[in-house]
Chains A and B, each alone.
Chain A
Amino acid sequence: MFSYCADPSTLSGLTWLSCYLTTGKHMAFYLSFGTVLLLLAITAPTALFFGYLGATAARSVVAPIRWIGKTYIAIVRGVPDIAFFLFFVIALDQAIEWSRHKILCPEWAESVRQGNDFVVCDAAKMPLGNAPQWIHETYGFFLAVFTFAIVFGAFAANVLFGAMRAVPRAQMETAEAYGMSRRQAFRRIMVPQMWVYALPGLGNLWMVLIKATPLLFLLGVEDIVYWAREMGGSKTTKFTDYPHGDWRMWYFLALLVFYLAFTRVSEIFLERTMTRLTKGQATTGGEAQRKAAA
């Protein structure tokens, strides 16, 4: 990075550290923070969308749709989420390969499960065996994102379902009195009002989602936990110009600080949004704001 880094063995103290922290590998480490942020940026809206679908399904008048919605919400309770993460990634991967197998290789006579192996024809491999490395990584990343979205979608569905029920009944009755259909009342009256009831729950969920991101490591993505373990391990002069002992503790300390800062910033941001959303609402919070202003 810097010009004085040409011969690391002559450096010491802070200059050594500044060179050490700007090596190519460290740049990859810093980029992996971007991976985490990218995961959050994609997962949060997708999970919210799934949650919205789930909550709407759970309120449906058609019984089978309602059952699907309620099962989706209920299924994540009672079981550790990490089990879901580990399960869904393999299950999704196999489901995709299996359906491609059925479409692309209809002449294949043998069973897909042969003893302890899961065998599909070469054309159905996902991604294809000869694909470059980055495609494999991207595919893995998107499987992980989808898994996160499914699991957190169920949580979000639960929150939104509760929020829809919290909208005062009188509001819906008024909408009916004005001659709105069920659908119109839902879209024009309930959905705009439910957010203030949903925000505390969704905010909590966001915090939990932030704290769930290190689990990406278990899904085989090269995220910050992966890099912290890689870089922290003791290195001899044989493998690097910057030999050091076992520094994994310090790397994980850095991760802890990163997460603490991230949660703190989110907390402040959520508080502000809540104040803005409560303005003029028929809740205790809204009432308190009105009194404070008067």
Chain B
Amino acid sequence: MSCWQTIQDYGLRAVGIGERLLPKEDFTLCQQFTLIGSGMIWNIYFGVLALLAGFFFATALALGKGSRNIWLRKSSEWFIFLFRGSPLFVQFFFGYFLFLSLKQVFPIFTPFTAAWLGALVVLFLNTSAYTGEIFYGALRSIPKGDVESADAYGFSGWPRFKKIVWPTMLRLAWPAYTNEAIFLFHATALVFFSGFPAWQQRGDALYYANYFADKTFNPFVPYPILAGYFIVLTVVVISVFGLANRRLNRHLPQEARKKLKLKVNVIR
């Protein structure tokens, strides 16, 4: 079987298109590359959607935590503490079993017990909490002079937030937010190891890498392939966020612009 044939058969296997049965023996390098690559579809799906939705919720959380209203502040603080203080792995398990129990009472929760929605919700809440904390920190370090000048120019309320506070907050938070995005993509690898079943063996990249390692008793091929894919994904994320960073900083003098500096990647 040629490699091209394998790509046709398994290239979209992770979303259920192509050959039904996974390869059982005589695993070729091509098969491992194709299937693990096809699993990356799920990692990208979870990462991109959770990040997009989380961005807006995180802004709300940051404003809530900085708000003078005690109810808003306390609830945002507790939400952020809840999701930052406990392991994502346990959150996944809890979310899955919570949705299972809810399903018994309200049938509307049936799709939530599948990974594509349930895990997405957990990831969304988790990244919102982490990003919310980052944005809150940035919100507090907005230079006092910027806000005072805005007041002097007669800005207030929504226009002041939209034109002055929010862009500055994003600009200050951006390097940390880039790290958070990378974490999030790495965290998507946990999904299929944490209760959420891989329906019809449609899993993410780590699911397939683990499948090959189990079948061949040889971890030295599938995991480095997986690592390679993730490094490429990380580089893509960094360059996309770098573009946004350039745009956010475009009004600053050249040397005052902050370069994106990446810190260690750690699990949550």
Interface set of A (CB-CB < 8 Å, partner B): 76-83, 86-87, 90-91, 94, 113, 116-118, 155, 158-159, 204-205, 208, 210-215, 217-218, 225, 228-229, 232, 246, 248-249, 252-253, 255-256, 259-260, 263-264
The smallest beta-carbon distance between A185 and chain B, in angstroms, is: 27
B89, A225: Cβ atoms under 8 Å? yes
One of B87, B230, B266 near A214 (C-beta < 8 A): B87
DSSP majority for the A interface? helix
Option from B81, B217, B219, B268 in Cβ contact (under 8 Å) with A116: B217
Name 12 extra pairs, CB < 8 A, besides A77-B264, A82-B186, A116-B25: A79-B230, A86-B209, A87-B213, A87-B219, A155-B264, A155-B266, A205-B266, A208-B267, A214-B87, A249-B101, A259-B86, A260-B82
A91 touches B268 (CB 8 A): no
Docked complex Cα distance between A90 and B215 (Å): 13
**Cβ of B231: which chain A residues have Cβ within 8 Å of it?**
78-79
- CB of B193 within 8 A of CB of A218, answer yes
Q: What is the predominant secondary structure among interface residues of chain B facing chain A?
A: helix
Q: Which of B198-237 contact A (CB under 8 A)?
A: 206, 209-210, 213, 215-220, 223, 226-227, 230-231, 234-235
Chain B: residues with CB nearer than 8 A to chain A?
25, 27, 81-82, 85-91, 93-94, 97-98, 100-101, 186-187, 189-190, 193, 206, 209-210, 213, 215-220, 223, 226-227, 230-231, 234-235, 262, 264-268
B67 to A: closest C-beta gap in Å: 23
Contact of A90 among B85, B190, B213 (CB under 8 A): B213
Distance in angstroms between the alpha carbons of A217 and B92 in the assembled complex: 14
| Chain B residue at smallest Cβ distance from A250 | B97
B81 contact set on A, CB distance < 8 A: 260
Which residue of chain A has its CB nearest to the CB of B267?
A: A81
Chain B residues contacting A76 (CB-CB under 8 Å) are 264-265
Determine the chain A residues whose CB is within 8 A of the CB of B82 once the complex forms: 256, 260
Residues A91 and B220 in contact, CB atoms below 8 Å apart: yes
Contact A77 B94 (CB under 8 A): no
B193 nearest CB across to chain A (Å):
6
Given A77-B264, A81-B186, A232-B97: A214 and B219 within 8 A (CB)? Answer: no
The answer to whether A212 and B230 have CB atoms under 8 Å apart is: no
Q: Are B209 and A83 in contact (CB under 8 A)?
A: yes
Contact A83 B189 (CB under 8 A): yes
Given contacts A78-B231, A79-B230, A82-B190, contact A249 B264 (CB under 8 A): no
CB atoms of B97 and A249 under 8 A apart: yes
Query: B residues within 8 A CB of A208?
Result: 266-268
Among residues of B, the one whose C-beta sits closest to the C-beta of A216 is B89
B89 near A249 with CB under 8 A, answer no
The reply to whether B100 and A213 contact each other, CB–CB distance below 8 Å, is no
Contact B215 A116 (CB under 8 A): yes
Q: Is the CB of B94 within 8 A of A256?
A: yes
Q: Evaluate contact between B100 and A249: CB separation under 8 angstroms.
A: yes
Quick one: closest A residue to B99, CB to CB? A249
Q: Give CA–CA (A215, B88) in the complex, Å.
A: 10
